[in-house]
Amino acid sequence: MKRRTFTKSTSMALAGATLASPAILRAGSKKGSELRIGFIGTGLRGRNHVRNMIVEEGVKCVAICDIDPNAVEETKKLFDKYKVDQPKVYGEHEYSYRDMLEKEELDAVMIAPNWKWHTPMCLDAMEAGVFTGVEVSGAFSLDECWDLVNTHERTGTHLMFMENVCYRRDVMAVLNMVRDNVFGELLHLRCGYMHDLRHVKFDDGNGGLAFGEKGFAEARWRTEHNLRRNGDLYPTHGLGPISTMIDMNRGNRLVSISTFATKSRSLKNYVANHPKGGENHPYTQLDWQLGDVVTSTITTANGETIMVTHDTNTARPYSLDFRVHGVGGIIDFDYGTQRIHVEGTTEAHSWEDANPWLKKYDHPLWKEFGEMAREAGHGGMDFFLDRQFIQSAKDDTPPMIDVYDAATMRSITPLSEASIRQGGAVQQIPDFTEGKWMTRKPVFAL
Ligand X SMILES: NC(=O)c1ccc[n+]([C@@H]2O[C@H](COP(=O)([O-])OP(=O)(O)OC[C@H]3O[C@@H](n4cnc5c(N)ncnc54)[C@H](O)[C@@H]3O)[C@@H](O)[C@H]2O)c1
Question: Closest distance between ligand X and the C-beta of residue 413, in Å?
Answer: 12
Question: Closest distance between ligand X and the C-beta of residue 303, in Å?
Answer: 30
Question: 6-27: buried (b, 16+ CB within 10 Å) or exposed (e) per residue?
Answer: bbebbeebeeebeebbebbbbb
Residue number with CB closer to ligand X (319 or 433):
319
How many of the other CB atoms lie within 10 Å of CB of 191? 28
Residue number with CB closer to ligand X (339 or 378):
378
Residue number with CB closer to ligand X (80 or 213):
213
Residue number with CB closer to ligand X (318 or 438):
318
Residue number with CB closer to ligand X (115 or 283):
115
Gap between the Cα atoms of 85 and 339, Å rounded:
48
Question: Closest distance between ligand X and the C-beta of residue 242, in Å?
Answer: 16
Question: Closest distance between ligand X and the C-beta of residue 247, in Å?
Answer: 23
Residue number with CB closer to ligand X (179 or 378):
378
Residue 295 backbone zone (phi > 0: left; psi -120 to 50: alpha; other: beta): beta
Strands 427-428 and 352-353 come out as unpaired
Question: Closest distance between ligand X and the C-beta of residue 163, in Å?
Answer: 7
Question: Closest distance between ligand X and the C-beta of residue 378, in Å?
Answer: 6
Radius of gyration of the chain from Cα atoms?
Answer: 22
Backbone angles phi, psi at 395, to 5 degrees: -85, -15
Gap between the Cα atoms of 274 and 209, Å rounded:
8
Neighbouring-strand partners of residue 62: none
Q: Which residue ranges make up the site for ligand X (CB under 6 A)?
A: 40-46, 65-68, 71, 91, 94, 97, 112-115, 117, 135-137, 164, 217-218, 220, 378
| Length of the chain (residues) | 446
Residue number with CB closer to ligand X (45 or 274):
45
| C-alpha closest to that of 2 among 69, 56, 76, 65 | 56
Question: Closest distance between ligand X and the C-beta of residue 412, in Å?
Answer: 14
Residue nearest to ligand X (CB): 43
Residue number with CB closer to ligand X (29 or 408):
408
Long-range Cβ contact pairs of 300-304 (< 8 A, separation 24 or more): 300/246, 300/248, 300/252, 300/253, 300/254, 300/255, 301/252, 301/253, 301/254, 301/255, 301/437, 302/186, 302/246, 302/251, 302/252, 303/187, 304/186, 304/187, 304/188, 304/189, 304/246, 304/252
Residue number with CB closer to ligand X (41 or 399):
41
Question: Closest distance between ligand X and the C-beta of residue 385, in Å?
Answer: 8
Gap between the Cα atoms of 369 and 376, Å rounded:
11
Got the DSSP string for 168-234?
Answer: -HHHHHHHHHHHTTTT-SEEEEEEEEE---HHHHTB-SSSSB--GGGS-GGGGTHHHHHHH--S-S-
